[in-house]
Structure 1
Amino acid sequence: MKRISHWIAAAALLISGAAAQAEPVTLDIWTIDRPDQYMYLLKDEFEQAHPDIKLNIKTVQFRDMVNDLARATATGESPDVTYIDNPEVALFASRGLLLDLTPMLAESKIIKKDDIFPGPLSSVTWDGKIYGVPRGANTIALYYNADMFKAKGLDPDNPPKTWDELYAAAKKLNDPANNIYGLAFSAVATEEGTFQFLPWLQMAGGDYNKVDTEGGVKVLDFWSKLLDEKLASPDTLIRGQFDSTGTFNAGNAAMAISGPWELPRMGREAKFEYRAALLPVPQEGAARASALGEGDNVILANSEHPKEAFILLEFLYGKMPDVWNRFGFLPAAKVQSNNPNTPAIYAVFEESMKYARNRGPHPEWPKISKAIYTAIQSSLTHQSDAKTALATAQKQIDAVLND
């Protein structure tokens, strides 16, 4: 009887051990997505494909992600996988806080490093190693309300191509009596303001490390003109891109500068014909530029489940052919988009990607970006003239770059 009891006890241990082993791994995920966006929408698909892995998703505001993640890594409470905006991968990788994915990528049958476009690939590369996988790519362009163009006698087949044409169109489309601004864009004091400003600066001959230029002054003077003449709403200075595009969707702005990530929402909200065009250039024949946006999925170095976390990254990468239609991202790799919705707008953003430039990368990018968006705010609120604001920013940027 004793022997049988031992056998039963041993069997019970084996069964309980098997049950414990069968418990799914839970990955903590941080994202900037809302519940109707990317990570949340792919959660069920992933868990069905991988029933042994569960996702615990938390939304962190875009503007808070860097600080919240820095605090979490310091206290040992960081997630397994998180979204990081592409210029900030260098910040965390240089401090040893991200898992080096290079060995995993070398073995992956799903993610091929050579298929990732150079811009997105450089955004996840630091010191010769790869620390993230792009979830897509984006850039910015000029959306415009074709119905308003027709009503004001403008040709919707011939949208503004230069800054002068953009100003003239905004002035003609501006309709204060009906609460309609000519143009909506974001000059907010966050990374989004820097993101929208840099292409204008680059088209005018500057860059993130060379802001104190004649071209930079021209950009800020032009933006000031739009605000001072109320062709753009005063809250341009405090609105992010989501809110400024919401103004366009609601019919309270005739044009808007934003990215393809807005298209799913635009398709639901905009009750008019909307189109897109490349960002206008300073003058005919000038070099083009646009911003390289969207972020990367990274694994934190202290994750207890790196294998499962990488399985998630592979799964998300495998969705690249569908990201345009579902989420408004452009593919970040050499894949064919599946019958892209709004093909004319898709073609505009695909063309714009040819001119998209990285922000950085630099391990102290947040300091560089802050210097830039502080100068923008200082100039547009007339606390200082554009030249003085950009000269101050240049000194701060030089101190970072020469440190």
Structure 2
Amino acid sequence: MYRSTTASLAAGLVALALQSSPVRAEPVTLTFWTIDKPDQAQQSYVLAHEFETKNPDIRIAVKHVDFADISNDAIRAVATGSGPDLVSIDNPEVALFASHGAFVDLTPMIKASKIIDPARFFPGPLASVTWKGGIYALPRGSNTLALYLNDDAFRRAKLDPARPPATWAELRADAAKLTDPAANRYGLAFSAIADEEGTFQFLPWIQSAGGDWNKVNGAAGVSALTFWQGLIDDKLASRDTLVRAQTDSFQTFVAGNAAMAISGPWELSGPIAGARFAWSTALLPVAGPGAPHASALGEHTFGILHTSAHPAAAFRFLEYVYSQEGRDWNEFGMLPSIRNADPKNPAHPKAYATFIEEMRYARVRGPSPAWPSISKAIQSAYQGALTHQATPQQALDAGQSAIDSAREEASP
């Protein structure tokens, strides 16, 4: 009897304890696809780990997907309902995802947020995530283009690196003085490769001359492409410009085989350390006196797929990313997308000042849901002219026809 009563009492106490104890909910798990690689210094992994530590109710499963695959993989995953909660998308493709309803419209959550203020974004980054008045992603950081100079080569050519070329004419004149075939040195290195990097490099030239991505065959586009053609034809830039990616092109600058180079801030996180000469940076030259400055806007954005079961939790992570933008330059090799999100003691402070100034003029590619097709048309145009398969006008006329067709097909 004693054992039976005791056992009953114990069982009752256990049941009472279970009823009165708070039940701890399992943490929400978010899946996050990113182009970052699983390295301790990569932004996506660093911020995801920090966010988990600060928010024990949320776990983030980060997965690396190659740059070339992530957009198509994400679209297919949405179609099958198996997509991640968060995905990293190149900024000109936000319009594609937004127009197809693949991304959550963040506008209502941003309006309710006490952390995110869209007015603080530079114009380019804000335009890159905006579609028909809604904000569909957040920049994870930004990059843009500037002109790198070999100061020692400038001085040997009796040029002043403190007075870098400000116009196309000055750029060509300086490149001619800096080119030295005997030393295997070209005046300028840039990338005209037939992929998105080439489009990224070409658009600022059209834009400074008064054109844009949606009108490439006017006088602005023809003058820009003719200028590029002349640099290569006159051997002021290598013919390998047509096949070199930006990082490969920049290596010729680091090696001393090009006295100037057009590239972005990512070169400062490692490649520039190989330079055995004094160097500096300057704004991209403009078409002529009084012409507008223009530069390209690069980097990926973070968006929430509409198939996510946890959009509110995913948005909390986006708020954290936004709050950490001041770390982008020194830690992650990116420019902040937000005005006044300056890092403390920025590395390469003079270069940082150049790139932050350039961010004022950085323009989004598009936006258009047909951007992949538009970019291919632009690539075909400049490659056709640079290889003399067509004149700049003929090449750009064909490109404009393909752009118009792509835009018409993408229209609802």
Matches within 5 A, 1:312-391: 312-339=317-344, 340-391=346-397
CA 1:334–1:194 in structure 2 vs 1: closer, same or farther (change >3 Å)?
A: same
Q: Go from structure 1 to structure 2 and tell me whether the alpha carbon gap of 1:383 and 1:41 turns closer, same or farther (over 3 Å shift).
A: farther
Task: Confirm or deny: 8 A CA contact 2:75 2:102 kept in the other structure.
Answer: no
In 2, are the aligned partners of 1:63 and 1:191 still within 8 Å (CA)?
no
Cα separation, 2, equivalents of 1:47 and 1:144: 43
- What does residue 165 of structure 2 align with? 160
Q: For the structure 1 residues 47 and 150, does the alpha-carbon distance in structure 2 shift closer, same or farther, using more than 3 Å as the test?
A: farther
- The structure number with the bigger radius of gyration is 2
Deviates more, 1:368-377 or 1:258-267: 258-267
The aligned counterpart of 1:294 is 299
CA contact (8 A) 1:189 1:238 kept: yes
Task: Give 3-state SS (helix, strand or coil) of 1:62's partner.
Answer: coil
Alpha-carbon deviations, 1:239-269, whole Å to 9, x = none?
3223322332343322111122332224543
**In the alignment, which of 234, 241, 248 is matched to residue 243 of structure 1?**
248
Question: Deviation at 1:346?
Answer: 2.1
State the Cα RMSD in Å.
Answer: 2.7
- Whichever residue aligns with residue 402 of structure 2, its letter is Q
| Partner Cα distance (2:145, 2:174) in 1 | 19
| Equivalent residue, structure 1, for 2:312 | 307
Partner Cα separation in structure 2 for residue 172 and residue 204 of structure 1:
24
Question: Please, which of 128, 151, 157 is the counterpart of residue 156 of structure 2?
Answer: 151
1:135 and 2:164 matched? no
Give, in whole Å, the separation in 1 of the partners of 2:276 and 2:9: 76
Listed as ranges, the gaps of 5+ residues in structure 1 are none
| Alignment partner, residue 53 of structure 1 | 58
Q: Distance in 2 between matches of 1:247 and 1:111?
A: 41
Native 8 Å contact 2:146 2:355 kept in 1 = yes
Task: Work out whether 1:79 is the aligned partner of 2:84.
Answer: yes
**CA distance in 2 between partners of 1:383 and 1:15 (Å):** 80
Alpha carbons of structure 1 residues 233 and 33: separation in structure 2 relative to 1, 3 Å:
farther
Counterpart among 252, 257, 263 of residue 268 in structure 2: 263
Matches within 5 A, 1:13-162: 18=23, 21-22=25-26, 24-34=27-37, 35=39, 36-162=41-167
Further displaced range: 43-52 or 249-258: 43-52
1:224 CA drift (Å): 2.0
> 1:344 is matched by which residue type in structure 2?
K
The 3-state SS of whatever aligns with 2:244 is: coil
Look up the SS of the partner of 2:76 in the other structure: helix
Name the aligned partner's letter for residue 275 of structure 1: S
Kindly state the Cα deviation for residue 8 of structure 1 after the two structures are TM-superposed: 8.6
> Any stretches of 5+ residues in structure 2 without a counterpart?
none
Change (3 A) 1:71 1:272: farther
Partner secondary structure for residue 360 of structure 2: helix
CA contact (8 A) 1:28 1:55 kept: yes
How far off is 1:179 after superposition? 4.1
| Counterpart Cα distance in 1 of 2:121 and 2:298 | 15
Task: Give CA-to-partner distance per residue, 1:115-139, whole Å, 9 cap, x none.
Answer: 2333322221222221111222332
Aligned residues of 1:63 and 1:190 also touching (Cα < 8 A): no
TM-score (norm 1): 0.89
Stretch of structure 1 that moved more, 273-282 or 63-72: 63-72
Give a deviation string over 1:346-400, Cα, whole Å, max 9, x none: 2222222222222221121222111111111111122222111100111112223
Over the matched positions of the two proteins, sequence identity in percent amounts to 54
Please give the alpha-carbon distance, in whole angstroms, between the structure 2 residues aligned to 1:52 and 1:108. Answer: 19
The alignment's TM-score, normalised by the length of structure 2, stands at 0.87
Q: Structure 1 residues 306, 7: closer, same or farther in 2, change over 3 A? A: farther
1:67, 1:272 → 2: CA distance?
42
Question: Which amino acid in 2 is paired with 1:301?
Answer: H
Distance 1:241 1:76, change over 3 A: farther
Summarize the Cα distance change of 1:274–1:49 in structure 2 as closer, same or farther, 3 Å threshold.
Answer: farther
Give the letter for the 1:342 counterpart: H
Aligned length: 401
Q: 1:109 to 1:179 in 2, by over 3 A?
A: same
CA spacing shift, 1:142–1:15, aligned 2, 3 Å: farther
CA–CA distance in structure 2, aligned partners of residues 181 and 41 of structure 1: 40
